[in-house]
């Protein structure tokens, strides 16, 4: 991991200013993600600045986190106006969790989730479904979420960035997972839509919702209205493309008018669909990793 020079990163004030520009253009929901947003110094000040716009053009501010610092930030996030968070949790087994996260402490994340619930935050668990690694505990994760009152979203592995292993060894089609879960749970297709990639099912016997993000088995691009802003001010129209515009210098040198012109170009050229491929020996759709643009 290489860290960028501070001058190449948007300041918190610049991120808040960009948020105001987006809101003025009609953006109603903003998510702070990463990487890991809670390691950014001053992130609660940023959340409070954006959260102050809720009810004034903004409907919702949410956060996606790995949970490692959530125990200490949950109350502050709620105070800033956040009401929902996503927590990445690919396993309930401490040793397996440590393997997937390269040394992460499972108990720290669980304490963070408990702190979030105590602070009044609704928690959704994000679990990447990995063949031969955690597929044997997906049903257990859904039961655990039901017992804790958390919704669960399962995600197919996405071919982003270079990795050490062949992705086809870990690819687990979620249509197969869904059929297996339907033998154990009452899954009712939901009409819920968020403008994102997930398709939802109400788990009637558990009282929670199951989301499936299926970039490979069931393309979701027709319902996606999201764009992603990297920490450098680069804005991507799609996770699976390098189509982008650079807003950092435009914001610093030209202000809102120049930013608006670039955003008009980005949206006009937004790709029709991603280019994810999982075949053996195929190149990733893009070289950048998910941590660059967030989930």
% pLDDT > 90, the chain = 71
Token look-up 């709620």 returns 78
**Angle at Cα 293 formed by Cα 285 and Cα 69, nearest 5°?**
130
pLDDT of residue 161: 46
- Please compute the mean of the pLDDT values over residues 194-198 and round it to a whole number: 73
CA distance 185 to 146: 11
- Please compute the mean of the pLDDT values over residues 237-253 and round it to a whole number: 88
Structural domain boundaries in the chain: 6-286
| CB crowding 91-113: b at 16 or more within 10 Å, else e | bbeeebbeebbeebebeebbbbb
pLDDT of residue 192: 80
pLDDT of residue 286: 56
- Please compute the mean of the pLDDT values over residues 2-12 and round it to a whole number: 87
pTM given for the model? 0.87
Stronger pLDDT, 292 or 48, i.e. the higher one: 48
DSSP helix, strand, coil percent of the chain (3-state; round to 5): 40, 20, 45
- What DSSP element (H or E) covers 31? strand 29-32
pLDDT of residue 223: 65
Can you name the CATH fold of 6-286?
A: TIM Barrel (3.20.20)
| Distances 181 to 9, 24, 209 between C-alpha atoms, Å | 43, 43, 13
CA distance 107 to 113: 10
Helices (H), 5-124: 12-24, 43-51, 70-79, 94-100, 106-119
pLDDT of residue 288: 53
pLDDT bin (cut points 50, 70, 90) of residue 139 is very high
Q: What burial class does residue 144 get, using C-beta atoms within 10 Å of its C-beta: 0-12 exposed, 13-18 middle, 19+ buried?
A: middle
pLDDT bin (cut points 50, 70, 90) of residue 113 is very high
């Amino acid at each position: 991991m290489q860290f960028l020079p501070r001058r190449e990163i948007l300041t918190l004030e610049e991120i808040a200013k960009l948020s105001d520009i987006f809101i003025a253009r009609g953006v109603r929901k903003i998510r702070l993600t990463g990487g890991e947003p809670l390691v950014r110094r001053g992130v609660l000040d940023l959340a409070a600045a954006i959260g102050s716009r809720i009810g004034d053009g903004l409907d919702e501010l949410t956060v996606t986190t790995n949970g490692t610092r959530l125990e200490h930030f949950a109350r502050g996030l709620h105070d800033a106006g956040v009401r929902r968070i996503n927590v990445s949790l690919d396993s309930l087994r401490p040793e397996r969790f440590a393997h997937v996260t390269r040394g992460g402490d499972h108990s720290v994340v669980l304490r963070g989730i408990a702190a979030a619930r105590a602070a009044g935050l609704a928690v959704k668990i994000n679990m990447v479904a990995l063949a031969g690694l955690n597929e044997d505990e997906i049903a257990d994760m859904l039961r655990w979420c039901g017992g804790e009152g958390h919704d669960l979203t399962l995600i197919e592995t996405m071919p982003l960035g270079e990795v050490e292993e062949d992705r086809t060894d870990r690819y687990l089609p979620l249509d197969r997972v869904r059929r297996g879960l339907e033998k154990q749970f009452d899954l009712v297709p939901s009409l819920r839509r968020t403008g994102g990639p997930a398709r939802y099912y109400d788990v009637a016997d558990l009282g929670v919702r199951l989301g499936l993000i299926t970039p490979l088995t069931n393309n979701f691009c027709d319902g996606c209205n999201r764009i992603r802003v990297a920490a450098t001010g680069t804005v991507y129209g799609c996770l699976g493309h390098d189509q982008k515009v650079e807003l950092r210098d435009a914001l610093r040198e030209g202000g809102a008018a120049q930013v608006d012109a670039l955003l008009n170009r980005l949206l006009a050229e937004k790709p029709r669909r991603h280019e994810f491929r999982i075949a053996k020996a195929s190149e990733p759709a893009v070289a950048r990793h998910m941590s660059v643009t967030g989930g």
